[in-house]
Amino acid sequence: MAVYVDADACPVKAEIERVGTRHGVQIWVVSNGGIRPSPHPLVETVIVPDGPDEADKWIADRAGPGDVVITADIPLAARCIEGGAQVLRHDGSPLTPANIGNILATRDLMADLRAMDPFHKGSGRGFTKADRSRFLNALEEALRRAGRIRAM
């Protein structure tokens, strides 16, 4: 059982370390650089080579059943779900086999719409305390489920 973190622009790294170490799981913090390594022995910082999707490839090649992946990257989430891992967004919302197809389709549609209107300003909202709290609860639940999967 491990937690894989797509660390570039991840606002919940401290929360992941806190919950993950409480469960005694290995945490892999993966990025292209610029991340301060944690001194905790269960947290391993992985710096991948520069290039598109290198961190995603590293995570997707390793994550499997009983693992938890934290990412906002939808194609990475789809690959990890296909490999059997649980996936959470930074706000705690789960990406699952039941919802990933619709989320991928929506992502692609929105990319097409943005390409048609280069002046479109996104409607992204800020990361809130409620998002952080929801994430903590979701990660706790995901690690409990992962422990049950590993025990089978």
The range of the structural domain enclosing residue 35 comes to 2-151
- DSSP assignment, residue 49? P
CB 88 within 8 A of CB 135: yes
β pairing state of 26-31 and 43-47:
parallel
pLDDT score recorded for residue 79: 95
Q: What is this structure's pTM?
A: 0.87
Which residue did the predictor score with more confidence, 104 or 136?
136
For the chain, the domain total comes to 1
Residue 149 to residue 152: CA distance in whole angstroms: 5
pLDDT score recorded for residue 151: 64
CATH code of 50's domain? 3.40.50
Taking only the tens place, the pLDDT of each residue in 77-131 is: 999 999 999 999 999 999 999 988 877 877 667 666 667 776 666 556 788 999 9
Residue 138 to residue 52: CA distance in whole angstroms: 29
Residue 34 to residue 47: CA distance in whole angstroms: 9
